[in-house]
Amino acid sequence: MMGYAHEHRWTNTSLRHSPINGERYTDPEFMEREWCQIWSKVWLLVARAPDMPNSGDYSVEDIGAESFITMRQNDGRVRVFTNQCPHRGGRLILKPEGNINEIVCPHCKATWSLDGAPTSMLGVSLTQFRNDNIAGFVFMTMNETAPTLQEYLGPVWDDWQRYKSEDWVRTSAATVAVDCNWKVPQDNSCESYHLPTVHPQGEYWIEHDYKQCIFDWCDEGHNRMAIQMGAPSQSLKNKDLRIDDQLTSMLTPWGLDPKDFVGREYDTRLALQMAKREHAESKGYRIEDLEDDQLTDAYHYNIFPNVTVSFAGCEYVSMQRMRPHPQNPEKCFYDNFTFGAKGSESDADLNGLGGKEWLKEGKDRQFFTYGERLMNRRIADQDLSIVVGQQLGLGSRGFTGVTLAKQEDRVQRFHEVIDQYLESTS
């Protein structure tokens, strides 16, 4: 596979191949160590800046026992505060999203302006945390001595800037309470091993042969996968090829007729790249900094510790975030958001990547417990369908530790970064 990732490889430092046992997913003491040595030290993704366009717009996220308010200020900046009243600790804002003119404690009626300054007798400012944003994603850290976000992200920073996604709009949002440790979904997003079994429908439009993919990790703790999209998988070579409905819906918005590719199905990816290069600007896309492969392929980033961001061609980006439960290591909250590029606001373009299915319920964030319903995002729903069973097995006496294939080195790297933080004395 030639393209941006091929020309811009990461450091890929040697692995120690340390054992990965079940206690990492079930032990309350291990969970506490993670909180003290990881969550309180790193940069955490807490909001999306375009979701808060107006003064007083806010987003609330709970991560473990902590709760954070991200709020748009009168001067257009974004601030992040603790979501606790300094009077007696009560939560200040209970709704996950909204717009307010001032912050009011529902218990004691103490008030604060949007910048966290007190406007009542209590006279204590809200605790504020460092924040920064990249590609429209807002990160914060509780660590006053943490490096800058750009330093923390390393090569990810430059990769993301190429997409110019700072104004891409939300097309779906769901939060699912799941009976598994937060690392189980993140493990799965660090490999493509499961694609043929969990996502068999994708074989006709996304690469399932791991030998055709590029896997990288960097010294800062993050990893990346570049996977070809917009043509059948090489695993189908010498088999009955066809242009399926999904690939058809990717071709037609760009003026390509699926019938023209009967008998030459592997030409669709390059044809899509040429069509996008020719027509994207007139449709509102900003692709001048993207290589041709980035116009079609999935660039999949695992941001340590708990976020996966996937740019799918130049049309949209999806975000998965796994948040730990405040008390139980065998539970977590799984967030799945999608954002469409400005040029993809027509149903036709979004439909090429499943957009109409996602937009059934609009952009309002949905909250539910796994098993109650589906997210109506086929791939994400398929991913969650296996994690509860994995958690049950990880707690079994018969499980003595994972056995990873070579193509799952990104999983190994993820856990070795966890160990580096747990072993750190700073």
From residue 197, alpha-carbon distances to 8, 161, 302, 331, 386 in Å are 30, 33, 21, 25, 11
Neighbours of 88 (CB within 10 A): 9
Confidence band of 345 (pLDDT split at 50, 70, 90): low
**What pLDDT, in 10s, does the model give residues 258-285?**
999 999 999 999 999 999 999 999 988 9
Residue range 385-419, pLDDT digits in tens: 889 999 999 999 999 999 999 989 999 999 999 99
User: Is 269 within 8 Å of 292 (Cβ atoms)?
Assistant: no
Identify the structural domains of the chain with CATH numbers, from first to last: 4-42+168-423 (3.90.380.10), 47-145 (2.102.10.10)
pLDDT top residue among 380 and 299: 299
Would you state the pLDDT for residue 347? 46
β-strand 169-178 against 366-369: which pairing, if any? parallel
Q: Tell me the pTM.
A: 0.94
Please report the pLDDT score of residue 164 as a whole number: 96
Q: Does residue 155 contact residue 163 with C-beta atoms inside 8 Å?
A: no
Q: pLDDT of 122-179, one tens digit each?
A: 899 999 999 999 999 999 999 999 999 999 999 999 999 999 999 998 888 999 999 9
Name the percent of the chain lying above pLDDT 90.
77
